[in-house]
Amino acid sequence: MTQEEKQLLLKDLCGRLPYGVKINHIIYNWEGTCINFTRKLESFAIEKDNGLSYDVPVEEVRPYLRPMNSMTEEEEMEVKKLGVCYDKAFHNDIYDTGISMEEAFTAISWFLERHFDINYLIEKGLALEAPVDMYKQ
């Protein structure tokens, strides 16, 4: 894993911590929920179903995320209610998109909460595609 990939994965996972993102430990192939990160941002505390938690280096973690094309019709309606075109919310320079910082934050938070892969980590091999019912609300 390159330093750039590690940084991207760290940023992405930190934004998902409040939402209980599920991960896979790629070496030992066990699953858990990401619950915290260490002071040095080198590892994450992962809680397994048995209630035990482990510190796992970032390089050994792959989150389960939903591809953008897995959005349901219901979710599409919710996005429309936000009043923000999500393509614009993920534009590199939001000042060129005509949306406010608050609108962009609202849209990004909505996608993170629902575990959508807004940073294309699945394509980059840094995340796994979540099974359909993993994040049922």
**Residue 24, domain CATH:** 2.30.30.140
| pTM for the model | 0.83
Residues 102 and 38 in one domain: no
Asked if residue 135 is part of any domain, the answer here is no
The model's pLDDT over 21-69, given as tens digits with 9 standing for 90+, comes to 999 999 888 888 888 877 666 778 888 888 888 888 889 999 999 998 8
Which domain does 22 fall in, by range?
A: 3-66+116-129
3-state secondary structure of 115: coil
Residues 57 and 74 in one domain: no
Residues 52 and 101 in one domain: no
Residues 15 and 60 in one domain: yes
Residue 76 gets the label, from left (phi > 0), alpha (psi -120 to 50) or beta, of: alpha
Domain count, the chain: 2
Compute how many other C-beta atoms are within 10 angstroms of the C-beta atom of residue 5.
Answer: 15
Rounded to 10 degrees, the C-alpha dihedral 93/95/97/100 comes to 120
In the chain, the amino acid numbered 63 is P
Residue 85 confidence (pLDDT) above 80: no
Residue 57 CB partners (closer than 8 Å, separation 6+): 42, 43
